[in-house]
Amino acid sequence: MISAAVYGIAGAVLTQDERAFFRDADPLGFILFARNCANAGSIQRLTGDLRDLLGREDVPVLIDQEGGRVMRLRPPDWPDAPPARTIANFYERNQEIGREIAETLGRMFGAMLIEVGIDVDCAPVLDLGFPNTTDAIGNRAYSAHPEIVTHLGQAMARGLMREGCLPVIKHMPGHGRCTVDSHKHLPRVDADLLTLRTHDFVPFRAARDLPLGMSAHVVYSAIDPERAGTVSGSVINELIRGEIGFDGFLLTDDIAMDALSGSPGESAAAALTAGCDAVLHCSGNLTEMVDVAGAVSTLTELARRRWDRAQAARQNPEGVCYRVLSDTLNALLNKV
């Protein structure tokens, strides 16, 4: 039975201990980082090995490939790409070309990832970006203006899907007002609900029909003053599922971040109880993964339906070489 977890891996090749653990734990999928991505050939072997190990051809393999500083596949082996904020600057000068840049970027990433067996990109970032937003988000956010974030985020998601790669909208319901890094501390957002509804939630509401989302480890005091969104039933069910209207498959952000108290296993159990569909554990730390595996359940029937619906949304890749798309992207960047 498939467990409600997505795990990271320590290196570019599976160890025997990892093989034994993953075979026994039967996770939904895996997430890769730069440490796992030596070159195209090694990534193809690793993603194939992961699927063979679990005996499922549709095992999802995730990665964070946003552009700017958050790119696990980087030059010189892979094309460079600007951060979200830079794309928004182009959009403000020419909206049509700005949207085309965002969509072409999504297509380029999608083609790159699919070629090496990675089929889910944890992007786009739909958080708003303010002058005092934590550097953990920074220029990963397109803009402080909800309509710009909406247009460009949806364009990037559309580009990814055109090449057969599923996007993950993040970090629901909005990380942009945080002034501290959730990798290290628990952020708190004290904005009133009206402000959040008319600003921060807008891009997520517009993207609510996309298949995959990621929760934020953030306290929203107007909704639940005690618990981070990832482990808050009020935030997950009343806000993300209810008010925003997202009924896709909801992953947590990395469950081992210091924003959450308790062990990774305790946080994982709390997130699933709150209503997340699966938990993400990223570090590849086997001891922590064993703790998480002991705490998580198999996918619920509802989560399985949401996952199946996400898989059904996957499009056949248009099949354009990512190098061609990189040339197209660079030509667009030089237009404005």
Tokens for 201?
């939630």
Q: Can 192 be counted among the known catalytic residues?
A: no
- 115-152 per-residue burial string, b: 16 or more CB within 10 A, e: under 16: ebbbbbbbbbbbbbbbeebbeebebbbbbebbebbbbb
Nearest Cα neighbor of 9 from 118, 106, 115 is 118
Q: Can 253 be counted among the known catalytic residues?
A: yes
Tokens for 41?
């050939």
Candidates 49, 183, 185, 247; catalytic one: 183
- The SS3 assignment for 16 reads helix
Tokens for 95?
């909206």
Candidates 64, 121, 253, 254; catalytic one: 253
Cα distances (Å, whole numbers) of residue 12 to 16, 31, 119, 136: 13, 12, 18, 26
Please return the burial class of 330, using the count of CB atoms within 10 Å of its CB with bins 0-12, 13-18 and 19+: middle
- 82-112 per-residue burial string, b: 16 or more CB within 10 A, e: under 16: bbbbbbbbbbeeeeeebbbbbbbbbbbbbbb
Tokens for 30?
């895996």
Longest distance between any two alpha carbons in the chain, whole Å = 54
Q: Which residues contact 275 (CB under 8 A, 6 or more apart)?
A: 233, 236, 237, 241, 250
Q: Which residues contact 169 (CB under 8 A, 6 or more apart)?
A: 124, 126, 153, 157, 204, 207, 210, 212, 213, 214
Q: Mind giving me the DSSP string for 145-157? A: SHHHHHHHHHHHH
Query: Known catalytic residues?
Result: 183, 253
